[in-house]
Structure 1
Amino acid sequence: MRCQKFVVLAISLVIAFNLPGLAQVAEQPVAIFHAFNQNYNDVRKFVCQLADRGYSHIQIAPAQKSNSSQEWWARYQPVDYDVIEGKGSQADLQQLIAQAHKCKIKVIADVVFNHTANLGGGDNFEDLTKFPGLTQNDFHSAPGNPGKKPCDINYSDGNRNSELNCWLGGLPDLKYTANVKKIQKAHLKKLLDLGIDGFRFDAAKHMPANVVKEYVDYINRESQGKTWNYLEVITDSDTRADDYKWIAAVTDFILYNSMKAAFTSSGDLRSLRVPTAIDDSRSITFGRNHDTIREINADAINPYDDASDSYLATAYVLARESGTPLILNWDNADAPYIKTGVKFRQIMRQRGKAGGNVKENVLAAVNSSTVLLMERGNEGFFVVNKAVGKFDIPMLDLTLTNIEGCYRELRNNFTVAVERRQNGKKFVTRWGTQNRGGMEVQGRDALYFIREPWQQCQIGR
C-alpha cells in the first residue's frame, strides 16, 4: 500500500509540473502600473503611492543600453545587454527596486530579445559589428551578405516563418545561437540579482516558442519560481494566443478588439455579456497600451478615435475577476475612476481569498447598449455608462442576481441598498438617498461598489 501511494504521488507531481496552467508559480498581479518611458528615479518618487492605490506590480522601461534617440521606441532597440543605461543607471534601478519592495510593490522588467537596434537609419542594412558581444553569425541576414535584411514579414501567408526569421521593420533579427542565449540569460540574471520580480517579453511572437520557454524556465529556476512573467503576443492571421499561452500569460488583443468594438459610440455593451477573449484567466488585459495609441505610433494597432472610450474600457477591465490589468501611466492620471477601479480590484481579491463570492457576471437586469452592470458575486458590483447623457431609471429589479444588502461607491462615497420585498423579489430601494431607488449614473462615468454592513445604509433613515 505504501508503495502504491508513493507511485500515485510521483505521478501526480509529474502531471502537475507539466501542466501549462501551473507553469506560473508566483501569485497573479492585482494590477500592473505601466511606467511607460519613465526615468527610474522619477518612478521611485511615486512608487509607494501606487501601493496605497492597490497596485501590486509596476512595469518599467527596458533597462539595457539602447538606441540613443530620445523617442520612446528607442528603448526597444537594444545595443548592449551588458549595460544598464537609458532610463537610469544600474544604481538608479537598484534604488527603485529597493523602494518598491519597501512598499510591497513588485517590479516587472521589460526585456527585448527578438532584435537589436536600427543605428544606420535605413531599413535594409545594418552594420552588425556595432553590437558588443554579438557577431554577424548571431543575426538573420540575406545569404552571403551579412547585415543585409533577408526578407519582410508577411502576417497572413499561412505560416510563421517570416515572423520568426525576417526583420521587424529595419531592426536586425537575432538568431538564438549559443552566444545570443548566453548574453540574454546574463541580462536576465543581472536583473534578477538586482531584485526584479518578473519579466515582460517584448515581441515574443517573433521568437520561437521553444526559446521563450527556455528563457522562462531559466527565470523560474533562478528565482525559485517567485517571478511573474508575461509575453507580448499580438494575434494575427498566422499567430494565435495558443501558440504561446502554454508558456506564460500573454497579452489579450482579442479582448482589446472586442472592447474597442463595444465602447466606441456605435458599439453595443451587451456584446460583453460573454466577452470574446483569450481562454486564460491570467491574460494581460488593457483598455489601451503603447502599441494602440495613434499619437505616438504611426502603426498603431486598432486605435481608438476617442481616448476616453479606452478609459471606460479600462474601467471594465479592472472590474473583472478574470485577467491581469495593465494600466498605462497616462490613463491612471487622466481618468479618476481608473484609480478607483484598481482599489476595487484589490478589495475583491482580498475578499475572494477570505472565501467571499466574487464571481464575475455581466447582468441582463440592465438591457442597454450604453450601460453595463456587472456583479462580483455578492461582494460588489460595477456599472459603466458610455453615453454622453445620464442614465436614470426609477426602478431596478435585481431578483436574479447575487447582489443584496448595502453597498458603498468607492469614489463618491454614497450608499446603495438592495432589499428583498414580501413577494420575494429584490429591488434597489436606495440609490444615494432614501428618497430614491433605481439607478442613476452620469454620462461617461464608471462606478464601483463594495458590500458594507447593513447599518451603513440605515444612516439618514
Structure 2
Amino acid sequence: MRNRLFLALLTIFVLVLLSDSRQFTSAIATRSPRTAYVHLFEWKWNDVAQECETFLGPKGFAAVQISPASEHAVIAHEDYPWWQRYQPVSYQINSRSGDRTQFRGMIDRCRRSGVEVYADAVINHMSGEAQGVGSAGTRFTKYFYPNLYQSRDFHTCRRDITDYNNHEEVTNCELVSLPDLATGSEYVRDRLAAYLRDLVSLGVRGFRIDAAKHIHTNDIAAILDRLHASVEPDPYIYQEVIDPGNEAVKKSEYYPNGDVIEFEYGRKVSEKFLGIDGQTLAQLESLGESWGFAPSEKALVFIDNHDKQRGHGGGGSYLTYKNGKLYDLANVFMLAFPYGYPQVMSSFAFDNADQGPPADAQGRTRSVHSRNPATCDQGWVCEHRHRSIANMVAFRNATDPTFYLSDWWSNGSNQIAFGRGDRGFVIINRESQPLDRTFQTSLPAGTYCDVIHAELDRCGDSAITVNSTGQVTVSVAAMDAIAIHINAKL
C-alpha cells in the first residue's frame, strides 16, 4: 500500500515538474534574444553599472565590452593617453576605471539588468615603458614585473615587427616596442589562464583577446584550454585579428579558438557610405563571406572601434562619430543587415589620436553621469544613445529568428531597402533628395512605429501602415532612414 501511494505521489510530482518545465521553457523561447553589444570605451565601472540599469538593459543590449581591467602603466609624460590601458603591469583588478570591489559591483548590477560583461584581455604583452609605477602602485621595468614576470618570460626577438609577411616575426617580435610575452611557455600560459579565470570568477562572460594576431593561435588555444577546464560555462571568445588579406597571419587560423573581429567589414561598409571611388549602397546587397569576410557565425563586426576611429591598426577610411548623420545611417545598416555579431561604439571626443578620456589634471577619469544621469557630458560622445542606433538594437533582436535578407530594393545608387522576412523592414536614403515610394515587404498587415524617429510609447506621427498585401508607402527624407519591426507593431 505504502509503495503504491509513493508511486502515485511520485507520478504526480513528475507530471507537475514536467508541466512547470514546459512553462519555463516556453517562457525562455518567447523571450526576445539579445543580439548586439556596445563598447563603453574608457568608462568607469560605476558608470557602466548605471548605464546597464538605465539604458543598456531596457534597450535590449546583450553585453557591454569594457576597457582592460588589469593594473596598467600610468603615463603622465604623455598626458595619460588612452593606450596606457593596453600596457598592463600586473593582473590586479585596479585601473583608472576603478578597483576590484567596483568591478564586481558593476558586473552584478549589469547582469541583474540582463547585460553580460565582456572584458578586453591584454595577454600578448606588458608595458613598453622603460620603468614606471602602475595604477595600483606596482613598480616595474620593461622586462621585470614583481612576482609575475622576468626577462626569461618574454620572447627573445626584442625589436619591432617590420615584416608582416613573416608569420614568426608577427607572432614573436614586439608590437610598437611592447615586450612580447613568451606565450609558448607553460609558466606564462598558467599565469594568463589564472588572470582570465579570476575575471570569470567575478562574473565576466566573454573576452576580447587583444592583439590576438600577435599571439600564435596554438598558444591562445593552450591558454583557453586551461581556462575551459576550470570554469563553466565556457566564456564567449572573440579575437582581434586584423587580416587585410595580403599578410602571413590569417584570421581563419583563429577560428578554432572562437570568433574573430572582421575588420574589413567596417572599412568596406564605410567606403560605400562615403562614396569612395564611386562606390554606392546598392553594392551592399551581396555583402558577406563572398567579399573575403569570415563566415557570419564567426564574425564580430563594427562600423568603427577605438583603434580605427584614430587611424590605428592599419588605417582605412572608417566612419566615426565625427561624420554625424552618415555614421548613424551606417550603424542602422549594420544592425539591420543579417551578417555577424554587431558592436556599437561609444566614444569620448578627441582632437588627437593619443588623447585619453575626459579627466582632471592628474589623469583621473571624469564620470559620464556627473551632471545629469540622462545625458552624456564633459567630453563623452555616447553614440550608442542616438535613437537611430539604440532603437535598431531592438530591430535586430526582433529579426533574429529570420536571419536572412528579403525584399531587397535599390535605385541602383544610394537608396536601398530590405526586409528580414516577416519580422522587419528598413529603408535607407543616403541621397540629397527625399525618397517617395511604395515598397513591398513581407510584414503582416498593421500599423507599426518607425523606431528611427520615435519610441513605441510616444509614436505619434511616426506610425506607418502596412496594407493587406504587405505594401508600405512612405516618404524618407534626405540622409535619413525608416525602420519597422514586428515588436514595434502598434
TM-score (norm 2): 0.74
Where do 1:79-98 residues align within 5 Å?
A: 79-98=89-108
Q: Which residue of 1 aligns with 2:200?
A: 192
Structure 2: how far apart are the matches of 1:229 and 1:55? 18
Change (3 A) 1:243 1:390: same
Structure 2: how far apart are the matches of 1:180 and 1:74? 22
Conserved 8 A contact 2:127-2:142: no
Q: CA deviation at 1:35?
A: 1.2
Change (3 A) 1:311 1:201: same
Q: Which amino acid aligns with 2:174?
A: W
Conserved 8 A contact 1:255-1:278: no
Q: Which residue of 2 aligns with 1:165?
A: 172
Q: Which residue of 2 aligns with 1:52?
A: 58
Q: CA deviation at 1:37?
A: 0.8
Structure 1: how far apart are the matches of 2:467 and 2:424? 15
Q: CA deviation at 1:47?
A: 1.4
Q: CA deviation at 1:63?
A: 0.8
Q: Which residue of 2 aligns with 1:290?
A: 306
Q: Which residue of 2 aligns with 1:154?
A: 163
Structure 1: how far apart are the matches of 2:487 and 2:67? 39
Structure 2: how far apart are the matches of 1:264 and 1:64? 38
Q: Which residue of 2 aligns with 1:372?
A: 416
Change (3 A) 1:100 1:453: closer
Q: Which amino acid aligns with 2:424?
A: G
Q: Which residue of 1 aligns with 2:476?
A: 441
Instruction: Tell me if 1:392 matches 2:436.
Output: yes
Where do 1:298-317 residues align within 5 Å?
A: 300-304=315-319, 307-308=323-324, 309-317=326-334
Q: 1:129 aligns with which of 144, 165, 170?
A: 144
Q: 2:296 aligns with which of 260, 280, 286?
A: 280
Name the SS for the 1:154 alignment partner.
coil
Q: Which amino acid aligns with 1:246?
A: P
Q: Which amino acid aligns with 1:416?
A: I
Structure 1: how far apart are the matches of 2:172 and 2:33? 32
Gaps of 5+ in 2: 1-31, 132-140, 348-381
Conserved 8 A contact 1:43-1:96: yes
Instruction: Tell me if 1:118 matches 2:128.
Output: yes
Instruction: Tell me if 1:65 matches 2:79.
Output: no
Gaps of 5+ in 1: 1-26, 143-148, 353-357, 429-436, 457-461
Q: Which residue of 1 aligns with 2:463?
A: 415
Conserved 8 A contact 2:213-2:241: yes
Q: 1:268 aligns with which of 280, 288, 302?
A: 280
Instruction: Tell me if 1:32 matches 2:70.
Output: no
Q: Which residue of 2 aligns with 1:320?
A: 337
TM-score (norm 1): 0.78
Q: Which residue of 1 aligns with 2:260?
A: 250
Q: Which residue of 1 aligns with 2:398?
A: 347
Q: Which residue of 2 aligns with 1:23?
A: none
Conserved 8 A contact 1:273-1:362: no
Q: How many residues align?
A: 393
Q: Which amino acid aligns with 1:64?
A: S
Change (3 A) 1:132 1:311: farther
Where do 1:221-236 residues align within 5 Å?
A: 221-236=229-244
Structure 1: how far apart are the matches of 2:129 and 2:487? 58
Change (3 A) 1:113 1:301: farther
Where do 1:327-342 residues align within 5 Å?
A: 327-330=344-347, 332-333=383-384, 335-342=386-393
Where do 1:208-227 residues align within 5 Å?
A: 208-227=216-235
Structure 1: how far apart are the matches of 2:463 and 2:304? 31
Name the SS for the 2:256 alignment partner.
coil
Q: Deviations over 1:344-398 (max 9, x none)?
A: 122223xx2xxxxx233164433242122120101111122222432223x44x2
Structure 2: how far apart are the matches of 1:132 and 1:245? 33
Q: CA deviation at 1:440?
A: 1.4
Conserved 8 A contact 1:294-1:303: no
Q: Is the deviation greater in 54-63 or in 258-267? A: 258-267
Change (3 A) 1:171 1:362: farther
Structure 2: how far apart are the matches of 1:102 and 1:389? 45
Give RMSD over aligned pairs: 2.7
Name the SS for the 2:180 alignment partner.
coil
Q: 1:138 aligns with which of 134, 153, 178?
A: 153
Structure 1: how far apart are the matches of 2:48 and 2:297? 29
Conserved 8 A contact 1:408-1:452: no
Conserved 8 A contact 2:160-2:176: no
Structure 2: how far apart are the matches of 1:151 and 1:285? 28
Structure 2: how far apart are the matches of 1:440 and 1:327? 27
Conserved 8 A contact 1:31-1:326: yes
Name the SS for the 2:339 alignment partner.
coil
Q: Deviations over 1:317-354 (max 9, x none)?
A: 111233111111235346320011112122223xx2xx
Change (3 A) 1:111 1:29: farther
Runs of 4+ in structure 1 displaced over 6 angstroms?
none
Structure 1: how far apart are the matches of 2:120 and 2:397? 24
Structure 2: how far apart are the matches of 1:278 and 1:310? 23
Structure 2: how far apart are the matches of 1:29 and 1:169? 37
Name the SS for the 1:68 alignment partner.
coil
Q: 1:180 aligns with which of 182, 185, 188?
A: 188
Q: CA deviation at 1:217?
A: 3.0
Q: CA deviation at 1:315?
A: 1.4
Conserved 8 A contact 1:140-1:150: no
Change (3 A) 1:134 1:28: farther
Conserved 8 A contact 2:72-2:87: yes
Q: CA deviation at 1:272?
A: 0.9
Q: Which residue of 1 aligns with 2:8?
A: none
Change (3 A) 1:83 1:104: closer
Conserved 8 A contact 1:287-1:314: yes
Change (3 A) 1:451 1:163: same
